[in-house]
Structure 1
Amino acid sequence: MYPHLFSPITIQGLPLKNRLTMAPLYLGYAGQGGTVSDMLVAHYRLMAQSGVAMVVVENATVDHPTGSGSDRTLRADTDDNLDGLKQLAAAIKQEGALACLQINHAGRFAHATPAPVAPSAVKTFGRFPRALEKTEIAHIIGQYAKAAARAKSAGFDMVELHGGTGYLLAQFLSPRTNQRSDEYGGSLENRQRFALDVLTRVRKAVGEFPVGYRFLADEWMPDGLQLTESRQFAKRLSQTGIAYISVMGGTYESFSLPDIVEKSKQEGYMLDLATAVRTVVDVPIIAAGRFATGNFAERAIAEGKTDLIGLARVLWADPRWPQKVRDGKEAAITHCNPDCGDACMHMVMKGRPAFCVAWPTDKMKEWKVKFV
């Protein structure tokens, strides 16, 4: 079943056995201080066992604490975490999936520090971040490069730059959050400079090692980044050797808007963004956003709307989703419930490890015994 969905593809010389990837999803499973916990390793081992071709480990900070979203954000900014990262990469690869580490600076959304930094001092949920000095920008660019080299040293197959969800790379790109008047602000050419500088330094640090990009195509805010500009940026990424572009929409400030909440309940609600980006680049595109059924995912690839599918909460709710789809047992899938009120997100916002309210009772009991 589904010949397109389960066909192979190659990304910069690395073979993927099918078109399914695990999209990065923060669940608060790292230890306090961002260490690689047993819980985190067990979670990603299970995700790799699902049958997806690539697992993208979420949101590892390049600069703690000012770049960390929370105290449970995984750290890639220190060699003290290197052994843990090696264990994590090995666990994923032992189960037959490629391992990719997403690296990030949270910028104005950093909650592990009382003094967040950003391109400009734009109010964020009641706090004003401090605008970055040029020397600090140079330091952060270097931190991205060091974190990427650390990911390679740990045995990951790829690294992904987190330019989605309204984090620092996206904050520089957005006309809403970047109000600078220097070479990093103003025109699109200037606003994309930070991300391109990061990519250049990262590629120099890792050499022949694939670097992907989590890509914010539309902030879904009236004065925010929109497709007209983001597609131009995608072209530049494609021209500078990016391995793939993983497309998403929205930020923490737009996810809770009533129309976006309703939109996010629809299957493949971000697919149109991925398709719009795919038409202007010549690198593989990953589409995400509630791909609940094999038929929908198959058609998205067959019709040329995307090259790969990113499963996040869909895969977390049921790690056997790929197997059940491949074997024609979709009726047995445990689905992420769009009407649950984003219970998992509320858990992590409170600093608690998340569980899925759609899980069967026996799995819920097992989770609580192991992790609570």
Structure 2
Amino acid sequence: MPELWLPGADIHDLGDHAPTDQQYPPKAIAHITWDRNATAAAPQDWCPYEDLVGYFTGGGAGDAPHLIWDPFSGRVAQMFPADSRSKSLLSPSQSPTRTNRAGRVVIQIEAVFFPYCRYQGGVYPRLVDTPCAGWGRIHAWLASWGVPDYWPMGRPVDFSGHRDEQVWETQGGWYAHAHVPYNDHTDPGSWPDFTAGGPDVPPSQHQPVPPATPARYQVNINGLAYGYGAQGYQVTTVGRALVSHGFGDHYRSGPGPNWTDADTENYADYQRSLGYSGQAADGVPGEGSLRRLLGYLPGQRTVSVSHVVAAAGADPGAEQGHLTYGAEVAIVEQALADEGLLDQRWVDGSFGTRTVAAYAAWQRRCGYQGGAADGIPGAASLYQLGAAQGFAVTD
């Protein structure tokens, strides 16, 4: 496990630790303290690092970030461990996410800086004009927590806001305060790039960024989990669909009901085939790509007799791929496939002629004959299939 506390930081643990919301990807949030207003014509003296640390460990503790960073000396103070939320973002009740918690980690960094600050006789219009001392070790520590070197809303270059709720919820990486939904600040205005280490850390001594690993967070779609560590029939369904579409190269065994790195890597290959790139092709499903892969969104393993009967009546005569209660039909189809009665490629949520024929074979296996084995589900045979394959049946 990566270090909870940045090596070399001044630790000021405020307590009040709280977990983050693990269904979202890992994030880092870039802030500046902006404690004074200055201009090119009227610069002001920089506010000392010690003053800001005193504020955030005192009266300002309710707005404290994880890190306070002095870009001139490289000193860093840390107030929360990496796996806890901190408190520098607004999180109003109308926000769909708890913004301070919306990620596997949501590590917030406040650079002690304001535009046109004066430090030791020099005037610094932008954060990137400072030495950015200590940035290399901060960046390496964030990378060790899985935060990718990526700005989903673009690297900040000015003090304008760019906010997108869907991007915020689905993409990991670095966000400016100006990018966070339901917040109104427009900082930091600039931020050092990922190769800058600062003059206090010679390039030969930079902490290496860990090699890229498959994404290891989960999302919840239609009540079911996807991503590393997820378990259930839906994981097997996705894996089998990936194989059937030609995206199974990373499997050494399976696919099965436990989501592994192989599932992530195969799903990333599939996402790239759709034209996604960067963080949008990290191998963790989104609702759009999942629907395109399966033709429907899997749900809880409950099947209604009346729904599948309606599908068996409507789908065969409709256009190819027509879905009537597709998620429930797919559960029945997968059960038929697992019984060896339906080819896996026809597990598509459409109760077409091949599914009717497979269900008729199931009915005959259950002892039905003639018109009682016509491929249209009855309650008794469907209950038997559910009992055999582990799904619930309702009227």
Q: What TM-score results when the alignment is normalised by the length of structure 2?
A: 0.25
Q: What TM-score results when the alignment is normalised by the length of structure 1?
A: 0.26
- Give 1 or 2: higher helix fraction: 1
Structure label with greater radius of gyration: 2
Structure of higher RCO (CA pairs closer than 8 Å, 6+ residues apart): 1
